[in-house]
Chain A
Amino acid sequence: MMLRLLASGGIAVLLAVPRGNLAAQDRFWGRLMGQAILDGTHVDPVPGGGSLTEVRVTQPVLIAEAGALNDHLAFAGTLDLEGLTIPNGELLPGGWGEGYTDRRHPHTYAHELMLSGKDLLGPLGVPLRLSISAGKGFVPFGSDDPMSRPVYRYPVNHHLAQILERAVAMAGVRSGPVLVEGAIFNGDEPERPGEWPPLRRFGDSWSTRLTLLPIAGLELSVSRAKVHSPEHRPGAGTDAWKWHTAARLDRAVAGGRLYALAEWARTSEAEGFFVFHSLLGETSFEKGRHQPYYRFERSDRPEDIRTTDPFRSLRPHLENSIIGITRFTLHTFGYSYALQAASGRLAVRPYAEGTLGRMESVGGGIFSPANFYGKETVAAVSIGIRVEWRMAGHRMGRYGGLLEPPGDSMHDHMM
Chain B
Amino acid sequence: MSLLNLPMHRVILGAAAVLAIPVLGCGGDGSPPSGPGNQVQIVKQSGDAQTGPLGGTAQPYRVKVTDENGFGKPGVAVSWTIVCGAGAISADTSVTDASGVASITATLPAAAGAQSVTASVAGASGSPVLFTSRASAPGAFAVSGGGNNVPERYSSDLWVAGGYAYTGTWNWYQRTSGVLGQVKIFQLGTGGAPTLIDSVSLANVVTVSDLQVSPDGQWLVVTAEGGSAEGLYVYSLADPAHPAQQAFYGVGTGLHTGSLSVIGGKLYAFTAKNPGSPALMIFDLSDLANGNITLASSTPIPPNYGIHDTFIRDGICFAFVWNEGVYIYDVGKGVAGGSPQAPVQLGSVKTSGGEAHNGWWFWNPVTGEKRYLFVGQEGPGAVGSSSSGDIHVVDVSDLTAPKEVGTYHMQGAGTHNFWMDEARQRLYAAYYNGGVVALDVSCDLAGDLGFREIARIQPGGSGQTYTWGVMLSGSSLYAIDMLSGLWQLAVP
Report which A residues bind B (CB closer than 8 A): 224, 226, 232, 234-238, 241, 269-270, 273-274, 305-308, 314, 316-325, 363-367, 371-372
Contact = CB atoms under 8 A, between A and B. Distances in A.
Nearest to B204: A308
B5 A321 contact: no
Interface bin, chain B: 35 or more
B28 to A, nearest CB: 40
A372 B176 CA distance: 10
Nearest to B179: A308
Main secondary structure of the interface of B (DSSP, over half): loop
Nearest to B209: A318
B274 interface: yes
Interface-centre pick from A237, A318, A364 (highest chain B CB count, 10 A): A318
A278 B176 CA distance: 31
Contacts of A372: 173
Interface in B274-297: 274-276
Interface in B191-238: 206, 225-228
Contact of B305 (A274, A306, A318): A318
B347 interface: no
A322 B382 contact: yes
A306 B383 CA distance: 14
A307 B382 contact: no
B304 A235 contact: yes
B386 interface: yes
A364 B276 contact: no
* Chain A interface, DSSP helix/strand/loop, else mixed: loop
Interface string B3-17: 011000000000000
B337 to A, nearest CB: 31
Interface in B433-455: none
Nearest to B154: A366
The 5 A-B residue pairs with the shortest CB-CB distance in the complex, in nearest-first order: A364-B385, A366-B384, A365-B382, A305-B172, A270-B380
A306 B206 CA distance: 10
B154 A319 contact: no
Nearest to A365: B382
Nearest to A232: B305
Contact of A321 (B175, B226, B274, B382): B382
A318 B383 CA distance: 13
A318 B385 contact: no
A273 B388 contact: yes
B228 A308 contact: yes
B173 A319 contact: no
25 contacts: A226-B5, A232-B305, A235-B304, A236-B323, A269-B380, A273-B386, A305-B173, A306-B172, A308-B226, A314-B226, A318-B256, A320-B378, A321-B378, A321-B382, A321-B383, A322-B381, A323-B172, A323-B383, A323-B384, A324-B382, A324-B383, A325-B382, A363-B382, A366-B154, A366-B175
Given A320-B381, A366-B175, 20 more contacts: A234-B302, A234-B305, A236-B305, A270-B379, A273-B381, A305-B173, A307-B226, A316-B303, A318-B225, A320-B378, A320-B379, A321-B378, A322-B380, A322-B382, A323-B383, A324-B384, A365-B385, A366-B383, A367-B173, A371-B176
A232 B226 CA distance: 18
Contacts of A274: 380, 382
Nearest to A241: B5
A306 B323 CA distance: 24
A255 B322 CA distance: 61
A35 to B, nearest CB: 36
Contacts of A226: 5
B304 A318 contact: no
Given A236-B305, A308-B228, A316 B275 contact: yes
Contacts of B175: 366
A235 B324 CA distance: 12
A200 to B, nearest CB: 12
B355 interface: yes
Contact of A320 (B172, B274, B380): B380
Nearest to B172: A305
B308 interface: yes
A238 B353 CA distance: 11
Nearest to B274: A318
Nearest to B206: A308
Interface string B162-181: 00000000001111100000
